[in-house]
Structure 1
Amino acid sequence: MEIPQIRMHSQPAKIQIQTEPAQLHMSQPSGDLTIRQPKAEISMRTKQGKLNIDQSQAWEDMNLLSAKKSIAKNAQAGEQAAAQGTARRARQGNALMRIENSADTIKAQAMENAFSEQKRLGITFIPSTFAVKTSYEPADLDIQVQTHQPVIEGRANKPIMQYTPGSIESSLAQRPELTIEVINKKI
């Protein structure tokens, strides 16, 4: 007698998966920075110093006068000398009118008129102390400075990103199979 037997052979399916990972490349460029410093503006104004020297008193002390002062001084001396001469002559005239009172009037007048007053000796051309007068106005310096703030310009650069997406590929590496055989076996 023959009994049928069923033989089954199966081959499982095999799936093949290939993956490509995602890639991300990032770079950050440096920022751009510019700094400019404008020059400061400086202005200076100077008022000159002033030195005044007045030596007119020293010249007068040495009898070196200007024409105007010399004329005024000599005119005053002339007026004074004329007044003194007039006074002396009037006094002597009055004395001569009363000659009967004194016998020595003519002799005294002759002695007075014969000799002039002697000049005093001495150094008279040296100026007196502090005859030269000085005054000084100091110089004035005005400095104006105007500063300027620095000009800073900064720009941040965005990061550069390159992204490659990943991929997955799946395929059937081995197909599934099922083989069924019917075998008759004798017993």
Structure 2
Amino acid sequence: MPRKLVVSVYISLDGVVQDPVGMENSGLGNWVGPFTRGPEGDEIMRQELWAADIALMGRTTYEGFAAVWPTLDDPGGFARRLNGMPKYVASTTMRQAEWNNTSVLSSDVIDAVRRLKDEGDGDILIYGSAGLVHSLLPHGLVDQVHMLIYPTVLGRGTRLFPADYASRFELGDLKQLGSGMVHAVYRPA
């Protein structure tokens, strides 16, 4: 059985996933900062990361993560887990990645992701990476979308689903978290 490809995003009520912590100079600011997901939300994120044995990212997400995660050592072990696992970055401009255990997928990302799905048992976890997700969705490579929905409307920014993409999804799980946030798991129908 192939691995599941799981997309995990922080998303606003109007579907924006761009720059949730304000590191991309998008002008959106740190739109997740005012909210707290609480211990239940932390446990959801832990389970999601521990179910995966590969992280897959687009270049912008990779650059943001690679600037921070290698310097962290949190009590919950998130940094050790993410830093230690194999990581892949999809990029046509990068030739090598400095973050340990990271390989660059620079050509035919669709075929490379298909091969990754056919190897091993753990999930492939994509954090954010809207451009990468936009390229994978039409090929049926996304198995689940985990949305941490923040009760804010941004009015602009990159959305999770591309404008020309149409599909049906089924709700797999729904939990209300702290600060009015919701965690929803969807699967393509």
* TM-score, structure 1 normalization: 0.17
Structure with max Cα Rg: 1
Instruction: Report which structure shows greater RCO (CA 8 Å, sep ≥6).
Output: 1
TM-score normalised over the length of structure 2? 0.17
Bigger share in strand: 1
